[in-house]
Each structure stands twice: as C-alpha cells, then as structure tokens.
Structure 1
Amino acid sequence: MADEKRAPSSDSDKAKAQHTEAHAGAQLEAVAERGHVATDEYGQALVQFDPQAEARLRRKLDLYLVPTVSLLYLFCFIDRANIGNAKIAGFEKDLGMKGYDYNALLSIFYISYIVFEIPSNIMCKWIGPGWFIPAISLGFGIISVCTAFVHNFAQAAGVRFLLGIFEAGMMPGIAYYLSRWYRRSELTFRLSLYIVMAPMAGAFGGLLASGILSLDHFGGLHTWRMIFGIEGIITIGISVISFFTLTDRPETARWLTQEEKDLAIARVKSERVATTEVLDKMDKKKLLQGILSPVTMSTSLMFLLNNITVQGLAFFAPTIVRTIYPDKSTVTQQLYTVPPYVVGGFFTLALPLISWRLDRRQIIMIMTTPLVIVGYSMFLGTENSNARYAATFLLSSSLFAVGPLSNAQVSANVVSDTARSSSIGLNVMMGNIGGLISTWSYLPWDAPNYHIGNGLNLAACCTVLIISTVTLFWMKWDNKRRDGRSIEEELAGMSQQEIQGLDWRHPAFRWKP
C-alpha cells in the first residue's frame, strides 16, 4: 500500500486520493501475484509500502507465529540438554556408565543431528513447515519420554540417536519458516525471539529439573527418570496444539485479509532481485547456490566455532557449577545454573534488536566475541570460585546471540526460497558439528579446572572474531567490485527464468553486511 497522503480538503482531492489508493492497491496485488517481479533489473523495489500498514502486519505476524515456534524450540532445547541435569541426579551411576561413556552418548546425538540437518530442511520445504515442524516436535517429545525407561548405555545411545534425527530440522526449519514472512532486517530479531529459548531452556530447565527432583515420584518414575518423562509429556502436548496453530505460508493464512496477504508476499519479494515468486520450485542448482554462497560458507564456519562454546556450556554448565560449589546440594547446584542463562537471554534479544534497527548483522557478530574471550580467560587464569562463577555470566552474555544473527545473515545473502532453505540448513549443520566437538571438550580426567575445554573454547572464540572481521571487509570489497559491472550487458539475451536463476550471482545483487 502506498504512503498515506494528507487528509483531502475537497471532494476533488478526496476523489484523487481514492484513485491513488486504488492504484496502489492494484499495484500491490499485481506484484504479489506469481509470475510478476517486485524489483527492476537494478534490484530496486517497484512498489512502495505504507509503513503503518507494514507495522500492523508485523504485529499480527508476531502474535500468530512467534509464540508457537518459541515454545516448540524451548522444549526442543530442554529435551536435548536435560541430560546435563540428569547427569548430576544419578543418570551415569544408574546406567553403569564409566570413563568417556557420557561424552560418547552426547556425540551419538550429534551424529544423527548433523547427518539429517540439510535433508530435514529440504523436507521442510517439500512438505511445508506448517506440518513438518509440529511433526518432528511430536517425534522428539515421544523420544524424550522413552529416555525415562532406558536401563543401560546401549538403550540410552539408541534413543539419543533417534532424538538427533527428530531435532535436526527444528532450528533451521523455524528459521526458514520465518524467512517466508519477514523482511531481511526484521528477521534477525524474530529469530532471536525463538533462539532466546536456548538460554531460557538453561534457566527454565534448571528450575524445572530442581522442581521435578523434589517430587518423590511421577507414576513409576523416580529421580532423573522423572525429568525426561515430565518434560517429554509437555513437549507432546505443545506439539499437538501446534498442528492447529502454525500456518504454512501467507496465502493459506485464514487470519490475514487478502490485502494483508498481498502485502506480506510483495514486501518479501521486493528484497529479492528478479524473483517472480516467493515460494519457487526446488531444484539442485538453487540448493547448491545456497550452500556455495561465500557468505554462507564463512558464516557457517563461524557458527561451528561458536557452537563449540554454546553447546559445551549447555551440556556442562551443571558440571562446571558443581566443581565451583562442590559442597552445595544437587538442587542448589541446579539453581546456580539459572542466573547466567537469564543474562544470556537478555543479550540474545538485545543484540538482534540492535541488528534489526541498523539492518546490520556482521558487525554485531563481531561484537559478540570480546566478553566471551574475557570469560574463558578468567576460567584459565584463576581458580577462585566467585570469579569463575562470574565468568559464566560473561560467557552467556553474547554466546547465544550468534544463533539468530548467523541464520539471518545467510538468509539475507541469498535470493531464492530454495537457496535459503539449503543455506540455513548448512549453517545449522556446521553449527552442530561444533556441538559434536563440544561433547569432547570437557573430559573427566581434565576436571576440576578443565584447562583443555576452556582453552579450546577460548581459541574458538578468537577465531570467530577473525573470520567475522575478514568476512565483513570482503563483503564491502566485493560490493564495490560489483558496482563496476554493466547490468544491461550481463543480462542481455537472458530469459527471465535464467535471470532469476542467477541468485546471488545476479550483477545487481549486493551483499548485506
């Protein structure tokens, strides 16, 4: 919808305003239709949008989409990381685990998680996220309940492998799903609204675990088994509800008017050079373009390194706290893990909010590293319990923010919907390779100070700083190089389909730092 005019002062002005508004509405409807481009050959949007109408639409999308996916991801992360809470409640002892068995068990989860990451996001596009996301959520809820009934390492390994299969599509699937609805600048903050559930899962998971462990029993379950059983049942309930609340795409949203549907489609198309439809047909070339984008590859490598620290903190925070405060009760140790995650949750929202307002992601990712570097330096440099506990607040302050920032960055730097699904899939897959590495970062013989684990995390964070900085300067350099290219000459003789297939190789495309 075009920008609003001043109130008309005469019948003639009123008629003219109505004509202008009708023309803008027709233009918006035309741009939203499949087969019509929303940009010129230089990548400039062909229609202007009413900021107030966009704000109303955003509020509606936030209300209908974000709460459901946030709840699903909260229990996705709880069902993954609650094994850390179970560990200090007798999980290892009851299953007869020794030596590196716990690390191996964590690794088994990540093997299936990594292998099924990109295939899951491709399936998400093929089936539709409105059905796929609730289905995999239901799957890992059931698997979590099954974990409550394991009696040996082999059984635990089997359910953790299955859990990885179902959870593989969750983080990239939601990121891809939201990219269908939001502009590039808006997406980062919306991703943070569900990814913030990772640190919140650490806080809420610790509270929930301590509350559950205060029960005598739940049915026939006792101690750590109650954690998996109760949390799995909650996940199943939320998953069933989400089958009815998630809408696959704007065209099928019964809670949007036709004008709002047109606006939702047109404004996303307006940022995708030469694109004639938001939801394109999937093909191998577009999938490879998403994976081979230079920004996708550098960002995913950075996310791999970041996830070594994120997942290490999630899995081993209770263990780290126990080494700091060994004389405290198990419930108290669980509660000590909560405050750092609350701080992490705040920054996971604050940094993407800044990114939204500035429409910048790369510089914010650079800003996430200094406090983490200081935190791990403190772990290595002192054995004072209070100082080391303070360091956990520095770690959680910015670690989790890289999740929404990196997924938004790879999404912003490809064009087609198909390329977006594969780029996000690769980013999260690489991140979970970092998660796999993290399962071996805190080894039993390295306790209680864990010099190897903390040194590895410090090195990983320093490397993130280097990669993110180099990528920022490369993007600026390549954009200047692209300014010297002749768009008309390069596109001469190409069909609309061929032009659209160029994706980020289109001469009018510019990297979005």
Structure 2
Amino acid sequence: MANSNKSFGDSTPVEAREDGSQLVPQHDPFDVRKLRRKMDLHLVPVVAVLYLFCFIDRSNLGNAKISGMEKDLKMTGSEYNIILSSFYVGYILLEVPVVIICKWMGPAWFLPLTSIGFGICSVCTAFVSTVPQACAVRFLLGVFEAGMMPGIAYYLSRFYARAELTFRLSLYIVTAPLAGAFGGLLAGGILKLPRIGWLTGWRMIFALEGILTVGVAVVTLFLMANGPDTARWLSAEEKKLAVERLRVERTASRESAQGEGAVDGGGAREKMARNARRFLRGVYSPVTLSVGFIFLLDAVTVQAFAFFLPTIVRTIYPKSTTVQQQLYTVPPYLVGALVMVSMSALSWRTDRRQIFFKPSTTMVLIGYIMFLSSTDPRVRYGATFLVASCFALGPLTNAQVAANVVSDTTRSAAISINCMFAHIGGLVGSWSFVEWDAPHYRIGNSINLGTSVGILVLSTATLLWMKADNKARDRKQAETSESELTQEGVEDLDWRHPSWRWKP
C-alpha cells in the first residue's frame, strides 16, 4: 500500500497506482443516483417489513397485558417483568453467534428463516396458560429475534456507502416506533373480533400477528440477495458499479465487501486466524465500545417505552376503555418515527452521526423531567411524545460503528457488539417500571432520566476524543513510514492503521 497524505478514513476514497501516485475513482453521479434508487426500492421495503413484524411480535406483550393476559395467567408481583426478562436472556446470549451464522449462511437466507422462527414463537404464545410457559416461549422468541437488528444492518452495509447507510438504517428501524403505532391499532382491531377459531381476547393478538409474520417471511425468501453481485434485479453494469463503490471506500482493506474470499494464500487455518483478528478489531474498537454503551443506555428507554407505554397510558387514562387505551399509544410512536427519519436524513446529508445523538436525547431528557415534575395526565401524556425520540439512536449508533471500521468481518463484529449492548439495556429496561412503583413510576422515570444524562455526557466525550485522536494520528503519520509495516500487518490493522481517521 502506497504512502500518502490522505487517510483512508476520508470521505473520498483513494486508490494507489503502481508508481505510487493516487487515482481517485470517479463515478457518474447520474448512474450512482439510479443505482441507489434501485437499491432503495428493492432492499429497504423488504427489511422494513421484516423488522416491523419483528418488533410487533416483541412488543405485543404490552398490548396483551392490558387486554386480559395478566388476569388469565394470574400474574402477581414482578411476574410480568420476569416474562420480559426471559426474552432478553436468549437475545443477549445469541447476539454475537447468530451474526456469525448470518455471515456464514448469507443474510438472504438467514433473515427470512429466523423471521419464520419468531413468527411461530408468537403463535405459540397464544396457547400458554401459565407464567413459566410464557417465559419459555419468550426465551425462544429472543433466540430467533437476536440476529434481526444486527443482521439487517450488516446486510444493508453490503450495498450502501458509509454516508448513505444511516438514512437507510433509519428507514427500517423506523418500523420499531411504527410497529408500536401499528401494533396498538392492530390490537385494538383484533380485540373487536369475537374470536379466531377457539381463541379469544389477547390470545388472538399473538396468533394473528404470528401468522402474518410467517407469511411475510416466506415471501421474502424469494426477494433477497446476499450482495450486489448476486442481486437479480441489478444489471451487470450496476453490479460492477455497486461493488466498485464499496471497494474504493474501503480501499485500505484487501477484503471485498462480499466477504473474505480475496484474502491471499496461507490456507484455511491462516485465513481463519486472520478473520479472527479482524473480528476482534471490531469488538475492541474504542468507538464500538463507547457507542455500544450509549446504545445500551438508550435501549433502557426504548424497550421500557415499548413494553410499558400501554400500562403508563392506562394509569394516565384509567377510565378509558381498553381499545381507547390501545389507540392512545399510537400518536407518540408516530412522532418518534418522524424524529428518527429526520435525524437520519440530516446525518446522510452531512455524513455525520455522533453530533445527532444529542438533539433526540435532549428531548427524551425533557420528557422524563415532565413525568417527574407533574401528575397532570395531559402533561404526562405530552411527555410520551418527547420520550419517543429515543428511537432515533438506533440507526445512528449502528451506522456509527459500521462507519468506523473497514473490513466486512470487522464491521459485522462491530454491529453485533453494538446490538448486544443494546439488548443488555433492554434487559435493564424490562425492570425499570415495576408494579409497586405505580401509578407515577418515579423510580422508572428517574432511571431513564439518568440514562439520558449519561448519553449526553458520553457522546460528547467520545466526539471530543475522536477529534483529539485524529490530530494525534496526523502528527504520528508524519513520522511513520508505512513501508515499515508488513503487508499482512497492514491488512489486519483496520482502525489501528496509521492512515485511519475516525469519522464523527
């Protein structure tokens, strides 16, 4: 690799000629826009629908609780929280392994098949009659859902350039708040039915939503491709352009965007060792660890919001009917979706992510201050609209860890670790609102206020560190000759490479 004054972290990719001079590949903007539109039409709707049903099948427990499930299963004390926690046990344990399976199997097979799995688990929930049975089914639901968020993020990163990725991630993660809105509407509609077969009440919610999930997943088996080079809906010229765009952006790595097939020589054992080193680069990246902890803090709020919003609405409007309470949960989710897409669009246009952690988190912080400072139902319901801004950090954090590594293996590791942190936060969130803290839930609101403050402090500190470390790398690069490094060392260094620059 030739020495240069330009870092491979810069937004304009650089390739070295044989004589050591630089070649900056130029792509026709019209062709790039046409390719991007085609990818948007073929990729985003498919993964968005999958994630929509993933989040519906996860969060419908909150809708079922206020629709009779709590009474029918004779839940007492903290048993609802225990059921919630059992989901995260499977989720956290399998987070990293299933992403490795996703990479090995290929996202085009893995994502639909795991969706079929959690759809079946949702249907099974309709037949539970005890709390232990509900815990077992929720554990299996967590196992099958563990690979969805990191798997889809990894899948899209195989197609989109760094600056484009955040907005595309938002277009599927936005289905999380939309799932809350749609789930509330769907639950309200289902509860108006007298029965589905021999199922009645809350059991119909799980059965019908699970059946819909399986049907959608089966269809997506025929729509997905593992990468640009296998996409049937791209022409030969478009495939070449799609692969080339990613290759030149990640030019410091000899690994292709489609996998490790381009790694030279050394046999299978050396290839595995090299992939293991690259995987660990993604795990131990300072940005991965910092942003992952930020996502953990955010997920405490996201998951608590998803699982407890119907319960909170019931405490605010106790005299409303169950269907009305379900419908009250819809508007805050719509506002959360709008904030998420807006922040992600700004991130795409500026090719920045870290700075957008602050606006949405500030709105969440204000929302919890309103919860803690007032018992007026109108004020507290208004606070839910601000708290819904917590969803914005999902695409921003996943895009940030993906943007701050190079190789395909390192990127899959960084995304999976980021999501694992988030689901540890989800486990904490499942215990942030407990029954004996009702109706004002001061403990839960205080915990989430604290996580918002933590995000603001840590995201600011990380941004300042990235800028300081880039300056230090500028000074060090002037003193270091890249030719002193072995070729294997250059390939495996990833973000440790002297030319690397963090992208805030």
201, 208, 222: which one pairs with 2:186? 208
Instruction: Name 2:5's counterpart in structure 1.
Output: none
Give 1:120's aligned residue: 98
The reply on whether 1:334 has 2:338 as its aligned counterpart is no
The answer for the alignment partner of 1:391 in structure 2 is 383
* Counterpart-to-counterpart distance in 2, 1:194 and 1:304: 20
Query: Aligned AA for 2:332?
Result: P
Q: Which residue of 1 aligns with 2:465?
A: 474
- Please give the alpha-carbon distance, in whole angstroms, between the structure 1 residues aligned to 2:151 and 2:127: 29
Whole-Å Cα distance in 2 between the matches of residues 297 and 71 of structure 1? 30
Q: Tell me the residue number matched to 1:258.
A: 236
Question: One-letter code of the match for 1:99?
Answer: G
Match of 2:356 in 1: 364
Return the alpha-carbon distance in structure 1 between the equivalents of residues 308 and 422 of structure 2.
18
1:463 maps to amino acid: G
Q: For structure 1, which segment, 90-99 or 57-66, has the greater mean C-alpha deviation from structure 2 after superposition?
A: 90-99
Deviation at 1:448, TM superposition (A): 0.1
Which amino acid in 1 is paired with 2:469?
D
**Structure 2: runs of 5+ lacking an equivalent:** 1-12, 261-271
Give the superposition deviation at 1:45: 6.5
On the 8 A contact 2:477/2:499 being kept in 1, the answer is no
Between the two proteins, the alignment pairs up a number of residues equal to 476
State the shift of 1:489 in Å.
4.0
2:108 aligned residue:
130
Does the 8 A contact of 1:43 with 1:508 survive in 2?
no
Report the TM-score, using the length of structure 2 for normalisation.
0.92
Contact 2:287 2:404 in 1 (8 A): yes
Question: For residues 78-117 of structure 1, what are the structure 2 equivalents within 5 Å?
Answer: 78-117=56-95
Matched, 1:220 2:212: no
1:75 and 1:224 map into 2 onto residues whose CA distance is 17
CA distance in 1 between partners of 2:500 and 2:359 (Å) = 26
Indicate which of 451, 454, 460 corresponds to 1:463: 454
Task: Confirm whether residue 450 of structure 1 aligns to residue 426 of structure 2.
Answer: no
AA aligned to 2:294 is M
Change (3 A) 1:43 1:272: farther
Relative to 1, partners in 2 of residues 1:313 and 1:49: Cα closer, same or farther, differing over 3 Å? same
Give the match for residue 37 of structure 2. Answer: 59
Match of 1:376 among 364, 368, 372: 368
> 1:241/1:44 Cα in 2 relative to 1: closer, same or farther (>3 Å)?
farther
Structure 2: which amino acid aligns with 1:290?
G
Q: CA deviation at 1:355?
A: 0.3
| Counterpart AA for 2:48 | S
Q: Is the 8 A contact 2:490 2:497 kept in 1?
A: yes
Please tell me the residue identity of whatever aligns with 2:334: V
Q: Deviations over 1:413-444 (max 9, x none)?
A: 00010011110000000001000001110011
Query: What is the alpha-carbon distance in structure 1 between the residues aligned to residue 119 and residue 311 of structure 2?
Result: 25
The one-letter code of the counterpart of 2:173 is I
Structure 1 residue 141 displacement after superposition: 0.4
State how far apart, in whole Å, the 2-side matches of 1:183 and 1:445 are: 48
d(CA) in 1 for partners of 2:249, 2:494: 12
RMSD: 1.6
Instruction: For residues 54-96 of structure 1, give each alpha carbon's deviation from its aligned partner in whole angstroms, at most 9, with x where no partner exists.
Output: 1000000001111000000000000000000000011111112
Runs of 5+ consecutive residues of structure 1 not aligned to the other structure: 1-36
- One-letter amino acid of the structure 1 residue matched with residue 496 of structure 2: R
In the alignment, is residue 278 of structure 1 matched against residue 269 of structure 2? Answer: no
1:12 paired residue number: none
> Does the Cα contact within 8 Å between 2:344 and 2:396 map onto a contact in 1?
yes
Matched, 1:424 2:415: yes
Distance 1:404 1:486 in 2: 32
CA deviation vs aligned residue, 1:174-196 (integer Å, no higher than 9, x gap): 00000000011100000000000
What is the TM-score of this pair, normalised by structure 1? Answer: 0.91
Q: In the alignment, is the contact (CA less than 8 A) between 1:303 and 1:430 conserved in 2?
A: yes
Other structure's SS at 2:200 match: coil
Percentage of identical aligned residues = 57
- Is contact 2:163-2:351 (8 Å) kept? yes
Alignment partner, residue 475 of structure 2: 484
Q: Which moved more, 1:137-146 or 1:265-274?
A: 265-274
- Whether contact under 8 Å (2:339, 2:360) holds in the other structure is no
CA distance in 1, matches of 2:283, 2:16: 26
C-alpha distance 382-182 of structure 1, shift in aligned 2 (>3 A)? same
1:284-299 correspondence runs (5 A): 284-299=276-291
